[in-house]
A and B are shown apart, each in its own frame.
Chain A
């Protein structure tokens, strides 16, 4: 009888390369390796920043110098040598290709699998787009629509020039420079990122996506994002893309700050698909991200993330529920395969009265990977009637991977209602045989089971993103069962 054993699978997994990554030759004007006050000043100067910004960076740098890299996360890796990194490299124009025929066929196959539209494929592969559909003109119409509503959406480097009062008021207000090692480093040396401001009472008419910006200036390894939703406004923001992203920078330390003023709502969705390293666990991006949102009265922030990439992920999108009746949500799918390690979760800090938070975390581990959920629900003494519901589900594939949950609860108010549910399951032989018997092969069966498992989170993603994310899960787990 034809047997597809665990050994075959293991073999297949080993030989399975990261077929989806791709390099782009970036000629860049690079700074010498290492970081010191002069480098920080030089970065600031290069970007023509005002004095206050330079000072802010320097202050962050001085704090960072005294900090230690955190070790509490359930991840093990060789610490980067921070003096061996170049902190400024302005990407020069990538070579423009004339048609998709010139693009690596494997990359196109991945785009195909992901169901990315032709236009988007061209944009991602840096193919010249015909005049009618030129990305610049798309972006321009897009910008005009936003401008009519008074919405500001631009690279943060430009915002520092054009809207210094807004940036200065809010940058570091949620994630202070002193917050943690990586956030401090990011504050000192951040390359660029996005800035977004939605005026009072405005509902942003489209999903704001970093797609639009990525092509104009490359995102760096120290990305900084700041989203401010003024009173009564609404915005849905998409970050990252399902397309594979290889980067020559091993270390990524981004900071995202969200500010939802009274009655505002921010929905922030991320798909993270950085190079995870090869089957032996060599290479891959270290992704150390600090994401935090602040909710004023009646405000709401929802974080939704699909994390499939990176060798090491350290990421806890959090909500500070400062205002009364504010709401924080965290929906996460984290997939680890081969030697990937993810330590991710959220912090819900309840300060206001009647604040409410929901945490749904789905961890999927395959290969020899380690997948940890780490969450903190903190109820302050003045947070009357705070409520939290947490659900952490883990799905294991094979016997060599690990799933861990570290839920922390700190309550200083007796009226709090906190519910926590956790499950761990395995894709069983019986489930697979059942699917096989119905004509569904093992690969497809895994995809089906994983999608079913992740459904509550997938449903939270904006429509087009959800379809791509679903396919991304399939690709990330191809050939991985035991």
Chain B
């Protein structure tokens, strides 16, 4: 699905990703952990195509196709979804309107007609139930005045609506209360299939109790410095990152 080799990326001449390799196959769940400032969100932004980040070396393929030159919306149309660490507010635009526009723009790119209203409503009903979202919530302005947890849940609602091939969840768990964490994780699990893949960026092993990763990677100073299975997360939880940093430097 996603193949990244020797990725170097910088912003305003500050190099952040420094030779990162990552391969994610369909059906897999990958967790990326790592200290603050390691470059996790940067990686997510670079995959999604944020233009401020300049890719200076390496390659990035989605299903065998080079996506490094594609505009962010084209990557979205190709099935990349990013659940933002800090979702932005769009005043006056309701969640429903936003999601509708989003779905129909992707359909348009695929040469399809707008989704019929009935189907759209049906889908909204289904996905909001899956994530236990009160439908009144969907008439509010996107992210405006949403609590931290509501914002995250709303990101996953959009993911559920868009059914991406590759979903990157950037600290979706932070801000969620215990119940919400369970609900959102359940949602993610239900949406998971052998044809799609998920990358979860997190600081906490807790989330991984719900969403079991096939691989856990440690990102440190712009590189993936260690990869293991789910047990690596437990080890990190117990020991922190120092031993890994030492391993790398030593």
**B227: interface (CB < 8 Å):** no
B105 and A444 contact, CB distance less than 8 A: yes
> Could you give, for residues 127-168 of chain B, a 1 whenever the CB lies within 8 Å of some chain A CB and a 0 otherwise?
000000000000001000000000000000010001000000
Interface of B is mostly: mixed
> Could you give, for residues 52-94 of chain B, a 1 whenever the CB lies within 8 Å of some chain A CB and a 0 otherwise?
1111000000000000111111011100111010011111110
B101 and A454 contact, CB distance less than 8 A: no
Q: Among A437, A441, A448, point to the contact of B93 (Cβ < 8 A).
A: A448
B49 and A439 contact, CB distance less than 8 A: no
**A438: interface (CB < 8 Å):** yes
Task: Using CB atoms, name the residue of chain B closest to A429.
Answer: B52
Q: Which residues of A contact B158 (CB under 8 A)?
A: 438
Chain B contact residue count (CB 8 A cutoff): 39
**A24: interface (CB < 8 Å):** no
Q: Which residues of A contact B101 (CB under 8 A)?
A: 440, 444, 448
**B106: interface (CB < 8 Å):** yes
B106 and A439 contact, CB distance less than 8 A: yes
Q: Which residues of A contact B103 (CB under 8 A)?
A: 439
- In the bound assembly, the distance between CA atoms of A429 and B72 in angstroms comes to 13
- In the bound assembly, the distance between CA atoms of A58 and B136 in angstroms comes to 62
**A428: interface (CB < 8 Å):** yes
CB-contacts of A385-407 with B (<8 A): none
**B204: interface (CB < 8 Å):** no
- In the bound assembly, the distance between CA atoms of A1 and B158 in angstroms comes to 26
- In the bound assembly, the distance between CA atoms of A452 and B55 in angstroms comes to 34
B92 and A452 contact, CB distance less than 8 A: yes
> Could you give, for residues 1-39 of chain A, a 1 whenever the CB lies within 8 Å of some chain B CB and a 0 otherwise?
111100000000000000000000000000000000000
B93 and A3 contact, CB distance less than 8 A: no
**A82: interface (CB < 8 Å):** no
**A430: interface (CB < 8 Å):** yes
B71 and A433 contact, CB distance less than 8 A: no
Q: Which residues of A contact B210 (CB under 8 A)?
A: none
- In the bound assembly, the distance between CA atoms of A454 and B103 in angstroms comes to 23
B91 and A453 contact, CB distance less than 8 A: yes
- In the bound assembly, the distance between CA atoms of A4 and B106 in angstroms comes to 20
A-B pairs with the 8 shortest C-beta distances?
Answer: A452-B92, A452-B93, A436-B72, A439-B76, A438-B102, A439-B106, A455-B92, A434-B88
Chain B residues at the A interface, C-beta cutoff of 8 Å: 48-55, 68-73, 75-77, 80-82, 84, 87-93, 97-98, 101-103, 105-106, 109, 141, 158, 162
